[in-house]
Structure 1
């Protein structure tokens, strides 16, 4: 190929190691035509390789699948279609389709507008009051309804407790941005009550914390974006609808957020077993943020340093600490108890008249 500016040569190459037999079409299952062209650029010659795959008519037939393989492939295809409803109707599937399952979670999501909901799968032949209420809400939001068997729901949720409902949403997580926290504080008509979680990774704990926060009237739950649980289907299920009513604000820098809360007049109280002061000794009738650590290490050193004060829950038994969701519930309701007592002080009893 020397002495020519542009010269091409077609060279057949087989994918089989053995020498191909022209009479045997199976050996020519794939024929790779490798086009090699060279062009001189001074003293350097750079080859350019282009592969062209040509499938001959004598393709080797694919091995037949047995009954078990066919059944598995069919079931996987059916479940795949359920995981991505209505691809043939031109729906945008760019956003991930996340399921929300559980009666309370689905009911709460539909009650708050069902933003991004694409399909509701429910257990067929159920006519109880909760099922009818959820179906009416879904119809009101024009969410397509699909009655399926309980076995299908089990497969869609991986065996989780779905209570007969699976709702798919294209955008299941509320878009609470870090700056929403400052906006929230400006719009409150009562002292702020926040729950700040420092690296809670267990979705069951996060769901339980959201549920306790909703019950105690907390205005938001704050959690880092990194190394912490997000709003997953398990969190929604455990929260029993609280994930739709309590904002989960995920921030980038927890230490900076605590500093911003302090500047906004919110007292940041970190819970630590080594603290000298009991939580019951602190006045929390004003704006307050309770800061709790993760499951393994508790509050990190930098988080502790950025809290206004540290407090502990009294431990009278043999164990050293409580589960983070249990501690969150106790602490939040202590704040609520103090505020209710401050708002409605006990009435002075009449002194008995002297005899």
Structure 2
């Protein structure tokens, strides 16, 4: 097997690798840097139980594999390509839990660190799934998996060809779609989210596309009381997700 690995197949960092093992992700091999074995005891133990090969190598080999862009912490795993879910799977998760659907749609989020952070918050807030477009959007790369701190292993992610058509299908299934936009007249803290809901977060610089905005049932905005007129996409998503949690817990 060639050692030239695709970034989509790498999981770097102790916590992400450990979460991948515990989630049952298909992992082919794990590399641990010399001198890091003591701090990677839990990973070695999980890998042994699963029958996964663990190799001890020079730290420089891991740095070459990571390409200098990922903090590997002395551990890298080679995994099967990330198993994307179908939109129907996300709705099924909500039904299995006996909960109203709570989904997050990302309209061309391009920064992998933003995507990783959003996935981490989505896991913490009980989101049933995240939907991303196949084009002009960050996918589940090694950087995303690392930034999510392992959360990507526990949140269902669907990758769709047409986000607008997906919104239509969600509406047909009884899901309300709320878009986030600075031009909205409705304050997020005065909006109701106690219904089957999909929240749309727009691109870091452009916001939501025109068609996606038109497809939304209603638009909301976060109050901005300082001099700046926008928030980081992952921060805005986090605030909104926790407002949904707050409202649902208060019922």
| TM-score calculated relative to the size of structure 2 | 0.93
Please name the residue that 2:16 is paired with: 105
Using the alignment, how far apart are the partners of 2:178 and 2:7 within structure 1? Answer: 37
Please name the residue that 1:337 is paired with: 246
Q: Does 1:263 align with 2:197?
A: no
Distance change in 2, residues 1:114/1:184 (3 Å): closer
Q: Is the 8 A contact 2:109 2:137 kept in 1?
A: yes
Please name the residue that 1:298 is paired with: 207
Aligned residues: 250
Q: Is the 8 A contact 1:83 1:97 kept in 2?
A: no
Structure with the larger RCO, 1 or 2 (CA within 8 Å, 6+ apart)? 2
Per-residue CA distance 1:129-152 (angstroms, 9 max, x = gap): x51111111111111111112222
Using the alignment, how far apart are the partners of 1:145 and 1:261 within structure 2? Answer: 43
Per-residue CA distance 1:89-143 (angstroms, 9 max, x = gap): xxxxxx997211011211111011131x211001223354x51111111111111
Query: C-alpha displacement at 1:253, in angstroms?
Result: 1.4
Bigger radius of gyration among the two: 1
RMSD between aligned residues: 1.9
| TM-score calculated relative to the size of structure 1 | 0.67
Task: Say which SS state the counterpart of residue 84 (structure 2) adopts.
Answer: coil
More helix by share: 2
Task: Say which SS state the counterpart of residue 223 (structure 2) adopts.
Answer: coil
Please name the residue that 2:216 is paired with: 307
Q: Is the 8 A contact 1:114 1:141 kept in 2?
A: no
Per-residue CA distance 1:276-298 (angstroms, 9 max, x = gap): 00011111122211111011210
Runs of 4+ in 1 over 6 A off after TM superposition: none
Please name the residue that 1:180 is paired with: 89
Q: Does 1:201 align with 2:110?
A: yes
Distance change in 2, residues 1:96/1:292 (3 Å): closer
Task: Say which SS state the counterpart of residue 166 (structure 2) adopts.
Answer: helix
Using the alignment, how far apart are the partners of 2:16 and 2:99 within structure 1? Answer: 28
Using the alignment, how far apart are the partners of 2:239 and 2:7 within structure 1? Answer: 36
